[in-house]
Structure 1
Amino acid sequence: MIDVIAFLIEHFQDVDAFPPRHDLGVLLEEVGFDDEEIGDALSCLDGLRFEPLIPAEALRASTGTRIYNAEELDLLPLPVRALMHFLEQNGALNPEQREFVLNALMNLPYDDITVDHAKVLTLLVLWAHRSELPVLIGDELMAALNGEAVMQ
């Protein structure tokens, strides 16, 4: 799934540039992705319509620290939670976007909840929301797609 998302980010200007869902699935199959990866990625994209339990307006106005519940603490490794905190504290993610990323992470198989996958999902949310972010943070997130930093 993460490879499909990375492909979409690299090959489409934004989510509005996607062909209809069926055509997108066919395109992804032609590129070489399997049905399960495609289905998971398309479900993740559907998750961008996820409604957090806290209203979006309240999240946007939030200045507090995110407290993780017991299930999140069990499933989200400390480095992933630290990344989410870092991105939010440095203005790369707002609280609403953070919740989108956390929701997507919580829907991944346990072994797929890694820092690199959190970075790709963060890029997906920022890309879908057409958000701008600091260059150095963007460079670090893009390294998750390519395996190396874009800037030197």
Structure 2
Amino acid sequence: MVDILIFVYENFFDSGIYPSNSTLQTRLFAAGFNEKEVNLTLDWFDHLDKLSVAAETNQELNTTIRCLHAQEQEKISASIWGFLLFLEQNNIISPSQREWVLSSIMSLDINEIDLERVKLITLMILWRQGQSSETLLLEELLHENEFLLH
């Protein structure tokens, strides 16, 4: 899924417009991504849309303290957790968006994830939700290490 997110970022982010799922699906298949990965990614984007609607009515997360579960601690390094807390404390992401990032990380089929991939996932979440001012700052952070595959 991360490779598809990189592709989406490199091909669509600068336009500021998110393509429809059918357009995106066609482009991803044309780029050589397999059907299973494409469908998982499109499902992930659809899930983000549903969570966005639910979060608008749920303010409970704004007043809670979040600790990582043991399984999350195995996958999420202290630097990644610190980065997410930094974004949240500086109002770049909301507590709900933090949870979406954490959920996305945990759903990846890898043991550990690096900070650059977390930045990309966070950027995709903000972009999908139309939060352009926040995505500009995160994009700046993303390009600090120029990790994108070329």
TM-score scaled by structure 2? 0.75
Tell me the residue number matched to 1:58: 60
| 2:33 aligned counterpart, secondary structure | coil
CA contact (8 A) 2:72 2:106 kept: yes
Tell me the residue number matched to 1:78: 78
Letter in 1 for 2:38: I
Tell me the residue number matched to 2:119: 119
C-alpha distance in structure 2 between counterparts of 1:30 and 1:51, whole Å: 29
CA contact (8 A) 2:119 2:138 kept: no
Which whole-Å deviations, capped at 9, do the CAs of 1:71-130 have from their partners, x for residues lacking one?
222332222212211111222111111111111111001336221211111001110111
Letter in 1 for 2:11: H
C-alpha distance in structure 1 between counterparts of 2:123 and 2:42, whole Å: 16
TM-score scaled by structure 1? 0.74
CA contact (8 A) 2:49 2:129 kept: no
| 1:110 aligned counterpart, secondary structure | coil
Is 1:110 paired with 2:113?
no
C-alpha distance in structure 1 between counterparts of 2:109 and 2:87, whole Å: 23
CA contact (8 A) 2:126 2:135 kept: no
Percent of counterpart pairs with the same letter? 27
Which sections of structure 2, spanning at least 5 residues, go unmatched? none
CA contact (8 A) 1:80 1:115 kept: yes
Letter in 2 for 1:87: L
Which sections of structure 1, spanning at least 5 residues, go unmatched? none
C-alpha distance in structure 1 between counterparts of 2:139 and 2:24, whole Å: 26
Tell me the residue number matched to 1:87: 87
CA contact (8 A) 1:50 1:100 kept: no
Which whole-Å deviations, capped at 9, do the CAs of 1:4-44 have from their partners, x for residues lacking one?
112223333333xx2343x4323212123233432332232
C-alpha distance in structure 1 between counterparts of 2:25 and 2:138, whole Å: 31
C-alpha distance in structure 1 between counterparts of 2:35 and 2:112, whole Å: 18
Letter in 1 for 2:6: A
1:49 deviation in Å?
3.8
Closer, same or farther: CA 51–30 of 1 in aligned 2, 3 Å: closer
Q: CA RMSD in A?
A: 2.9
C-alpha distance in structure 2 between counterparts of 1:30 and 1:143, whole Å: 30
Corresponding residue pairs, total = 142
Letter in 1 for 2:17: D
